[in-house]
C-alpha cells in the first residue's frame, strides 16, 4: 500500500479510534504532508534512521522568508507526529522504522506571561458601560479569568449550559473531554447583566450585536452573507475574542502582549499563589498531564521565596538572638 493511503488511514484512526479533535487531525495531516513531500518516498519501508536524521537536519536548518529558524518546539512536534505515525504502522504490521528509534529533543521551558491582580482589575474596569458591547465584553473578560477557560471553550458555550445559581458550567475541552468550571460571583453578575440585553434567539452565549447588524443591513440595503440554516450565525469566533481582550488591555494601558490565554495563565497563577494545590489547578485547567500544569510552579517561585524568607529566615534570625 502506498504511503499516502497509509497516511489517510492513520488520520481516520486518529479521528475515530483516538477521538482527536478536527483541529488536531488537521495539524497531523499538515505536518505529515510536509514530511512526505520532503522525503519523496512511496513506501513505508523507505523510512529508516538515515532519512529521519536528514529530516531533523532539514528542520533545524530551515529558515522562513524572514530568515527565522523553526522553534525547537515546532521541530519536536514534527518528530512526535512522525513517531506516532510509525507507531500506527507497527500496529498494522506494516514494515517500517520502529517508532522507538525516533527520539524527541528536549523542549525549552515555556515562558508564561501572566497579569498581576491590579492589571487584571484595570482590564476589567476598562470594559464599562450599559450598552450591549460593553456588557458582553465585560462578561467575556470576567468569565475568562473566573474559570481559566481556553478561548475555544469560551466561544463554544451555549446559553442553556449556564447554571448561574450553582455558579458552575460544563465545558468541552481538548480531546472532547468535559469538565466542570466555576463562575465567580462577579462573573455571574456580569453575565446576568449581559444576558438581560440579549434580544436574539441564538443559542450561543457570546454573540455579535444582532441589532447593529440589522441596522447596518437596512442602512446599506444589503443582506450579509449568513447561512440561514446555521444555528451559530451570531456566535463570536476565537479571533473576535482575541481582538476584544487585546483592545481592553491596550485601553487599560497594559504594555504586555495580552491575549485570552494570558487570562488563563493569570487564573492558574492566582490559584497557586493563594495556596491551591497543583492537582486541583490541573483539574480546573483541564490538563491531561500534571507536567503541563507544572510550568506555573516556575512563575510562583518568587512567592516561594517570600515564604522562605518569612518562615525559614525568621527562624535563623531567632536562633542568633538566642
Q: Give the residue numbers annotated as catalytic, written as ranges.
A: 150, 174, 261, 264, 287, 296
Residue with cell 499538515: 30
**Pick from 114, 120, 137: which is nearest to 296 by CA?**
114
CA-to-CA distance for 3 and 279, rounded, in angstroms? 42
Nearest 5°: phi and psi at 230?
-95, 115
Nearest 5°: phi and psi at 64?
-80, -170
Q: In what helix (H) or strand (E) does residue 178 lie, and over which residues does it extend?
A: strand 178-182
| Other CB atoms within 10 Å distance of the CB of residue 190 | 24
Nearest 5°: phi and psi at 297?
-70, -25
Tell me, letter by letter, the H, E, C secondary structure of 12-33: HHHHHCCCCCHHHHHHHHHHHH
| Other CB atoms within 10 Å distance of the CB of residue 96 | 20
Contact 267, 147 (CB under 8 A): yes
DSSP 163-174: BTTTTEEEEE-G
Q: Which long-range contacts (CB under 8 A, 24 or more apart) does 129-135 make?
A: 132/197, 132/209, 132/211, 132/212, 133/209, 135/190, 135/193, 135/194, 135/197
Contact 53, 89 (CB under 8 A): no
Amino acid at each position: 500500500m502506498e504511503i499516502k493511503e497509509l497516511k489517510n488511514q492513520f488520520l481516520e484512526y486518529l479521528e475515530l479510534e483516538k477521538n482527536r479533535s478536527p483541529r488536531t487531525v488537521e495539524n497531523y495531516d499538515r505536518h505529515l504532508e510536509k514530511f512526505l513531500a520532503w522525503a519523496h518516498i512511496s513506501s513505508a519501508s523507505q523510512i529508516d534512521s538515515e532519512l529521519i536524521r536528514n529530516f531533523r537536519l532539514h528542520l533545524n536548518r530551515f529558515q522562513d522568508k524572514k530568515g527565522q529558524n523553526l522553534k525547537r518546539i515546532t521541530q519536536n512536534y514534527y518528530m512526535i507526529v512522525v513517531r506516532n505515525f510509525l507507531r500506527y504502522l507497527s500496529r498494522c504490521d506494516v514494515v517500517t522504522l520502529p517508532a522507538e528509534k525516533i527520539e524527541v529533543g528536549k523542549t525549552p521551558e515555556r515562558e508564561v506571561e501572566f497579569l498581576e491582580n491590579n492589571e487584571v482589575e484595570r482590564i476589567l474596569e476598562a470594559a464599562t458601560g450599559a450598552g450591549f458591547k460593553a456588557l458582553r465584553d465585560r462578561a467575556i473578560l470576567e468569565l475568562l479569568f473566573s474559570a481559566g477557560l481556553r478561548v475555544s471553550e469560551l466561544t463554544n458555550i451555549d446559553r442553556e449550559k449556564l447554571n448561574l445559581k450553582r455558579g458552575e458550567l460544563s465545558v468541552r475541552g481538548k480531546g472532547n473531554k468535559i469538565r466542570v468550571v466555576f463562575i465567580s460571583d462577579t462573573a455571574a453578575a456580569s453575565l446576568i447583566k449581559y444576558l438581560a440585553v440579549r434580544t436574539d434567539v441564538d443559542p450561543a452565549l457570546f454573540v455579535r450585536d444582532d441589532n447593529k447588524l440589522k441596522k447596518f443591513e437596512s442602512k446599506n440595503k444589503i443582506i450579509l452573507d449568513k447561512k440561514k440554516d446555521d444555528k451559530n450565525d451570531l456566535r463570536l469566533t476565537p479571533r473576535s475574542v482575541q481582538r476584544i481582550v487585546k483592545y481592553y488591555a491596550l485601553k487599560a494601558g497594559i504594555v504586555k502582549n495580552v491575549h485570552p490565554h494570558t487570562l488563563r495563565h493569570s487564573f492558574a497563577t492566582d490559584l497557586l499563589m493563594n495556596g491551591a494545590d497543583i492537582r486541583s489547578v490541573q483539574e480546573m485547567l483541564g490538563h491531561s498531564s500534571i507536567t503541563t500544569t507544572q510550568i506555573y510552579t516556575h512563575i510562583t517561585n518568587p512567592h516561594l521565596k517570600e515564604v522562605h524568607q518569612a518562615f525559614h529566615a525568621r527562624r535563623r534570625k531567632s536562633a542568633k538572638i538566642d
